[in-house]
Amino acid sequence: MRVVLALDKFKGTLTSQQANECLAEGIRQRNPKIEVAIRPMADGGDGTASVLANYMGLEAMRVEVPDLYGKLTEAHVYWQNSRRVAIIETAELLGSSRAVAHKSDTLKATTTGLGQLIKKAFDLRPAEIWIGVGGTMTVDGGWGLAQVFGLRARDTDGNDLAPSLTNAGKISVIDRTPIPEFMMKTKIVALCDVLAPVVGQGVKLAHFLPQKGIASDQIGIIEQSLKTYWSQLQRSNPFVPNLESPYTGAGGGLCLGLAAVFPNFSMELGASRIARVAALAQCFQGANLAVCGEGCLDEQTLSGKAPQVVAQVAKDHGIPVAGVFGRIADNQNRLVNNLGLNHSFVITSQQLMHASTELSRLSRNRFHEIGIEIAHLLESAGKKNNRH
């Protein structure tokens, strides 16, 4: 019997590596004969760079750049010299761990520091830069990072405007200084944590704004400000994607700024790229069960998060799928069915009331218990197959 564990992080509790290992311990305790393959996952948000670093053998280089509020902090550029690939993660620099989570601060946060981090990556003269896009507390449409690479937004008096959507209505003209040729040739790939566009049907940027501390009565204003900013941006940068395009809502719309600056820019689903790097499809060959999971199963999970990608790859190979989640939102049966799960397990909601250290300990215990249950499932399936 063989099981493949491919869980994403449980944010604030366990990394993807820790979650998979805790589950594996329970399986092995119940039945040491079960072969357990661990393939930690990420989706472009928190933990993406470290997951890719482990798979690709990347060198971590520490640099000092401003965070989302302009305070100098350490961040990382991950580097693979053989392929000349640099990898950076927006959540490390612009995520909730860096933010003072006050609603009034969100619109003051910018992606300027991310632009400087990308510039540090360019010092290595890479052939490609992969940017994990997701888990940010910013919503400036990438204005700040684009400004680092020569984009200027000015008002009717010719004054430079600070990169904030609160200034979108003041924009009279946007122009930019050309970037060096080597930057133009570098392939820039945004590994987005969600398919969501800025505007459109289904899951979109607005669904993520409350997580960034935006009050509900401000969401419509921010959407309109992004539309105003985009219309000005596209006048001088016609290759900027439409706001209805997939991925544009990831990371507070920062892909708009990337597209405005870099001609060799593309967007894709982060979880799909990571699944390929992890050789997930090959790993599923001969498996009896695949296990996916993350902190919460909700509508956003069905918009390209890691569990959806893992479940789809498993189904493509005819492998049954189990899911492990910190919690499941309303409409549990529909969500489980739409994800294509054969079995689902939940970390009890009571644990969410504990302090983080206690929560981590309790979660590890619960993962261990679920691992034992998964081993029992495999044993039962094995006995059933033997009878047939």
- Give the model's confidence band at 258: pLDDT under 50 very low, under 70 low, under 90 confident, else very high: very high
Output the six-digit token pair for 386: 């033997």
Q: If you average pLDDT over residues 298-310, what whole number do you get? A: 96
Average pLDDT, the chain: 92
pLDDT of 382 > 60? The answer is yes
What sign has the CA pseudo-torsion 276, 319, 38, 89?
positive
Between 106-110, 130-134, 267-271, 311-315, the lowest mean confidence (pLDDT) is in 106-110
> Which residue reads 């200034």 in tokens?
167
Pick from 320, 278, 325: which is nearest to 11 by CA?
A: 325
Identify whether residues 152 and 301 lie together within a single domain: no
pLDDT tens-place string over residues 323-357: 999 999 888 899 999 999 999 999 865 444 444 55
Q: Tell whether 58 and 83 lie within a shared domain.
A: yes
Burial readout 301-332 (b: 16 or more C-beta within 10 A, e: otherwise): bbbbbbbbbbbbbbbebebbbbbbbbebeeee
Provide the 3-class DSSP secondary structure of residue 287.
coil
pLDDT the model gives residue 236: 85
Q: Which residue has the higher pLDDT, 256 or 353?
A: 256
The two structure tokens encoding residue 98: 């860096």
Cα 255 to Cα 99, 174, 212: the distances in Å are: 20, 17, 17
Q: Could you give the CA distance from residue 140 to residue 148 in angstroms, rounded to a whole number?
A: 14
CATH number of the domain that 240 lies in?
Answer: 3.90.1510.10
Question: Do 244 and 116 share a domain, yes or no?
Answer: yes
pLDDT, residue 174, reads 96
Q: What pLDDT is recorded for position 115?
A: 98
Tell me the per-residue pLDDT of 203-254, one tens digit each, with 9 for 90 and over.
999 999 998 989 899 999 999 999 999 999 999 888 899 999 999 999 999 9
CA 301 from chain centre, in angstroms, equals 11
Q: Coil, strand, or helix at residue 101?
A: coil
Last residue of one domain, picked from the residues 254, 271, 288: 271
Rounded Cα gap, residues 16 and 52, in angstroms: 12
Distance CA(155)–CA(173), nearest Å, equals 7
Q: State the pLDDT confidence band at 106, using cuts at 50, 70 and 90.
A: confident
pLDDT score of 331: 85
Residue 60 host element (H or E): strand 59-66
Measure the CA dihedral 367/369/370/371, to 10°.
Answer: 90
Do 288 and 156 lie in a common domain? no
**DSSP 8-state secondary structure symbol assigned to residue 221:** H
**Residues 74 and 32 grouped into a single domain:** no
Assigned token pair, 50: 């470290």
For 20-56, the pLDDT digits (tens) are 999 999 999 999 999 999 999 999 999 999 999 999 9
Report the distance separating Cα 118 and Cα 283, nearest Å: 33
Residues 289 and 217 both lie in one domain = no
Strand residues in 166-303 grouped as ranges (E): 173-176, 187-192, 265-269, 289-297
Average pLDDT over residues 128-139: 96
| CA-based nearest residue to 370, from 2, 27, 18, 20 | 27
Give the chain's domain count. Answer: 2
Distance between CA atoms of 72 and 68, rounded to whole angstroms?
9
CATH number of the domain that residue 16 is part of: 3.40.50.10350
Counting Cβ atoms within 10 Å, is residue 360 exposed (0-12), middle (13-18) or buried (19+)? middle
Of 327 and 5, the structure prediction assigns the larger pLDDT to: 5
Task: Give residue 339's region: left, alpha or beta (phi > 0; psi -120 to 50).
Answer: alpha
Same domain, 224 and 288: no
Note down the domain range covering 53. 48-271
pLDDT digits (tens, 9 = 90+) for 176-191: 999 999 999 999 999 9
67 and 187 share one domain: yes
Per-residue pLDDT, averaged over 272-296, amounts to 97
Residues 198 and 235 in one domain: yes
SS3 248: coil
Same domain, 114 and 35: no
Q: Using 50, 70 and 90 to split pLDDT, how confident is the model at 12?
A: confident
CA distance 248 to 245: 6
The percent helix, strand, coil of the chain (3-state, each to 5) is 45, 20, 35
The pLDDT assigned to 355 comes to 47
Query: Which of 252, 271, 290 is the last residue before a domain boundary?
Result: 271
| Burial per residue of 27-46, b for 16 or more beta-carbon CB atoms within 10 angstroms, e otherwise | bbebbeebebbbbbbbbbbb
**What are the angstrom distances between the C-alpha of 134 and each of 41, 45, 127, 247?**
14, 4, 23, 10
Clarify whether residues 104 and 187 are in a common domain.
yes
Residues 204 and 315 placed together within one structural domain of the fold: no
pTM of the model: 0.94
In the listed set 217, 248, 271, which residue is the last one of a domain according to the structure? 271
